[in-house]
Structure 1
Amino acid sequence: MKHSALFKSLFFLVIFLSLASCGSTSNVSNFSPLTTVNTAESLKKPYVILISLDGFRHDYVNTYNPPYLSSFIEEGSQAASLIPYFPTKTFPNHYTIATGMYPDNHGLLANSYYDYDKKKTYSIGNRETVVDGSFYKGTPLWVNANSEGMVTASYFFVGTEADIQGVHPTYYYNYDGKVTNQERVDQAIKWLEMPEETRPHLITLYFSDMDDTGHRYGPNNKEKLREALFKLDSKLGDLFSRVDNTGLPVNIVIVSDHGMAEQSMEKLISTESLINDALYNMIDNGVILNIHPHNNEETDKIFNQLKKLENKFTVYKTEDTPHFEYVPKNKNWGPIQVIPDDGYYFSSSKSIERRKAGNQEVFGVHGYTPALKDMHGILYAKGPAINVGGSLPSVKNIHVYPMICKILGLAVPTNVDGKLSYLKGMLQE
């Protein structure tokens, strides 16, 4: 019996190490808290695949009727739309879905923001900040699952590359947009085919197709959007079918971080006239400029100077800024915000000239107020824990987290802003 137990332990260790080393972009955390083998309690739990379809607007399925997603919805549950938070950008809203917290609380305020404690600007284009777990507050799903002895995996999701609370998913990949959708689907199935002791019960997947296409052509280019959607739908159909063939109790939850709106060149505002490096640092997120004075005593002076420049935009003290559901209190917003008028968008002169050189008349953007329905995303779910034919009204994205925790039998941290009650109608009794 001792030899048998030793052999079994070595067998699973070899499997784990081989999976950890496959692919040049694959990473496995060396932190001691990392769960590599499911506890006996976790073995009894079902499975969740959380899929993000970046930039997938709430109305795309009804407009284009992709066959596999349409069937998925009919056999499961859906919300009328998933409501993001302002600014309706990729990183803060993905991380809100992952943590169930408002951006003010989880700290990832926008795709770029200034951190006063670190005296450093976080940016999605800066690998050093993206992988630094100290920027990410809250307890994302994979960290929560890990703390309860559950193996997790990710083929991309905001936050999974960072050592949040010293933890990555058990299996994960650094983001590489060149990785094909088929590779992502194939890896998800490989994870589900692993021995149950090391098989992940939470898997996250990310697909950027609709965001890429929407940005390039705008959300009203039906030919290009339909082409991209049906290619994506085919890969998702392959995933759905192969998941069913595993015979495992897998629940699939599909979300998007935001929608998309058409932007005209005529309504772009150059940011150059607002730059004043001598007085303040300015962070540009297209639909909002964060102003960070070098000297707090000059805040009122800077505010009054910017007010005189108002033209297709309005300058606000942070506590008076519109579009937020709550009064923003996180100091990293800075004391002054600049908001473009409806339909306008901030951009650098260099970017504007590049678009003009490419004869680009319209394109797609997001970030605007969640009151604009075009900014809303999707929430679809299907599986043994999900009601068939369930249909809910539009729901805020903070509520996805406690629903997934409920499915996996995970405790919900007390500081989470989302409530299970809003999505309980999606779940089987």
Structure 2
Amino acid sequence: MPNLFRLLVALLLAAAFLPVGPASGEPRQDRCVVLVSVDGFAHFYLDDPRSDIPTIRKLAREGARAQGMVCAFPTVTWPNHVTMATGAAPARHGVLGNSYLDRTTGKPVSLLPDPIYDKDQIVRVPMIFDAAHQAGLRTAGICWPATRNARTLDWTVPDMAGDGWETFGTKSWLEELRAAGLPVDRQADWCREPAGGVQRDWLYTRMAAQVLTKHAPNLLLIHLVEPDHVQHRTGPRSDEAYWCMSYTDDRIRDLVEAVQRSPMAGKTTIFVCGDHGFLPIRKDIRPNVLLRQMGLIALSDGKVEKQAAWCLSQGGACAVYVLDDARRQQIIGELRTALAKTEGVDAVFTPERFAQLGQPTPEQDPHAPDLWLSAKKDYSFSDTAAGDEIIAARPSVGGTHGFLPDQPDLLSACIIHGPDIQPGTDLGKVDIRDVAPTIGAILGIELPTAQGKSLMRGGSGK
């Protein structure tokens, strides 16, 4: 009986992993991986009977699925896309949020949509396409965050509006797409439209189909955007959110059909992942109003004229920067106490606890804040310092993310389908840092700076 028990335990443990991948150091020219990031694809949509997502469910049924994927903190788009593509936490890869505060100027610096920095200026470790390119594999990226001017993507358009595609995209590929009748020159217009993500996701999947069928890359990263936009406006589990998930499923179907027409048909693994989940929000927390009332901020005609500290929203999280070096420790202590008592604030983290968030301290990274905050459900942070209300009700329910990643509705989806994947595999709960090492295992390439583990048997993390 003990031997039988041990055998059953071993079988259960083995079932939690995918089949053994190819040995590292042997790049697989005969394999393709398509990593699809669906922005805001919360795990709960997979089993929700109101979700009309037959293609995604078929991939999950015939492949592997996680029981939720734990994302990086803050659970926002830019750091999580970099984590997904590097296998590393923000403290290691360097993209700490969607924005940071420049301590010299006191002004926010936005990282989305890649308006200032090239990929190599903000991402400090190799991304999975860097490793693939170095191994001699062909790589492509469509609107993947933090890939501006990425020289190791053979066919690419960055996640940028304006003239970003013309400036940083692969010019010869853009000409091919124009010749094929795809309206790539409408990207800038559609980025400005409130519902432009619908057209954008339609365009992105057709661009993916072209590169898959004509150029047969070994690795394609593609970012679909509209589910995030809709849930911000109307909240998760809204009628509009269910419509958008159905629309997104149609776009995944387009990608699956393109794979079936491609030279890599039968040799392609598709990952469908979310970068974060979503929570509903009904109230805004305005910590900079509190700082103004404490005398740390002063406004004149609506403009900041005094700034001893500043709070920078990351949705359901907030980065607090102290800019008065002479009184830094005193102000940190005062803010820690005052913010912990503020309605809607769930947790206040000081630098000695940043490591558990996967974030660096200010001594380790000048972009790091002095405190991190996370909001409770139904609350979101706002940057405004005007007015007298620290807590303000919203006129209608919306949605956001950024909160601590361990909440069930903040878990994202993770589905893997392909020739190396055992149908019906239950991966349990996985970490977003596991995605890149798993891709590496399938393609036979190494990513030494990754902290996650490959979900293929024998995978390990560092």
TM class by shorter-chain length?
0.7 to 0.9
Q: What are the superposed Cα offsets for residues 185-223 of structure 1, whole Å, 9 maximum, x if unpaired? A: 22222212235xxx42111111112111111111131x2
User: What one-letter code is carried by the residue in structure 2 that aligns with 1:250?
Assistant: T
Aligned in 2, Cα 1:411/1:231: closer, same or farther, shift over 3 Å?
same
Q: Give 2:71's aligned residue.
A: 84
Aligned in 2, Cα 1:122/1:169: closer, same or farther, shift over 3 Å?
farther
The one of 41, 47, 51 aligned to 1:62: 47
Unaligned runs of 5+ in 1: 1-40
Contact 1:84 1:397 in 2 (8 A): yes
Contact 2:280 2:400 in 1 (8 A): yes
Distance in 2 separating the partners of 1:43 and 1:425: 18
Q: Give 1:105's aligned residue.
A: 92
Distance in 1 separating the partners of 2:386 and 2:114: 22
Q: Give 2:141's aligned residue.
A: 154
User: What one-letter code is carried by the residue in structure 1 that aligns with 2:237?
Assistant: N
Aligned-residue offset at 1:158? 1.4
Residue correspondences, number: 373
Moved more, 178-187 or 89-98: 178-187
Q: Give 1:33's aligned residue.
A: none
The one of 21, 36, 49 aligned to 1:51: 36
The one of 393, 403, 406 aligned to 2:441: 406
Contact 1:56 1:258 in 2 (8 A): yes
Aligned-residue offset at 1:352? 11
Q: Give 2:225's aligned residue.
A: 208
Q: Is 1:262 aligned to residue 280 of structure 2?
A: yes
Q: Tell me the C-alpha RMSD between the 2 structures.
A: 3.2
Aligned-residue offset at 1:246? 2.6
Distance in 1 separating the partners of 2:385 and 2:108: 21
The one of 153, 156, 160 aligned to 1:172: 156
Aligned-residue offset at 1:243? 1.2
Distance in 2 separating the partners of 1:225 and 1:341: 22
Distance in 1 separating the partners of 2:219 and 2:441: 13
Distance in 1 separating the partners of 2:59 and 2:458: 17
Q: Is 1:367 aligned to residue 406 of structure 2?
A: no
SS at match of 2:447: coil
Runs of 4+ residues deviating >6 angstroms: 115-120, 350-353
Q: Is 1:290 aligned to residue 310 of structure 2?
A: no
User: What one-letter code is carried by the residue in structure 2 that aligns with 1:50?
Assistant: L
Aligned-residue offset at 1:228? 1.1
Distance in 2 separating the partners of 1:319 and 1:247: 52
Aligned-residue offset at 1:377? 0.3
Distance in 2 separating the partners of 1:412 and 1:123: 28
Unaligned runs of 5+ in 2: 1-25, 160-186, 298-305
Q: Is 1:252 aligned to residue 270 of structure 2?
A: yes
Aligned in 2, Cα 1:117/1:411: closer, same or farther, shift over 3 Å?
farther
Distance in 1 separating the partners of 2:387 and 2:32: 46
Aligned-residue offset at 1:370? 1.4
SS at match of 2:399: strand
Aligned in 2, Cα 1:225/1:315: closer, same or farther, shift over 3 Å?
closer
The one of 182, 186, 210 aligned to 1:190: 210
TM-score by length of 1: 0.78
Contact 1:100 1:397 in 2 (8 A): yes
The one of 111, 114, 129 aligned to 1:142: 129
The one of 224, 240, 252 aligned to 1:236: 252
SS at match of 1:363: strand
Q: What are the superposed Cα offsets for residues 83-140 of structure 1, whole Å, 9 maximum, x if unpaired? A: 1021111111111000000111101111112467999854134644343531111100
Distance in 2 separating the partners of 1:77 and 1:292: 42
TM-score by length of 2: 0.73
SS at match of 1:361: strand
User: What one-letter code is carried by the residue in structure 2 that aligns with 1:51?
Assistant: V
Distance in 1 separating the partners of 2:27 and 2:359: 40
- How many percent identity over aligned positions? 24
Aligned-residue offset at 1:326? 5.2
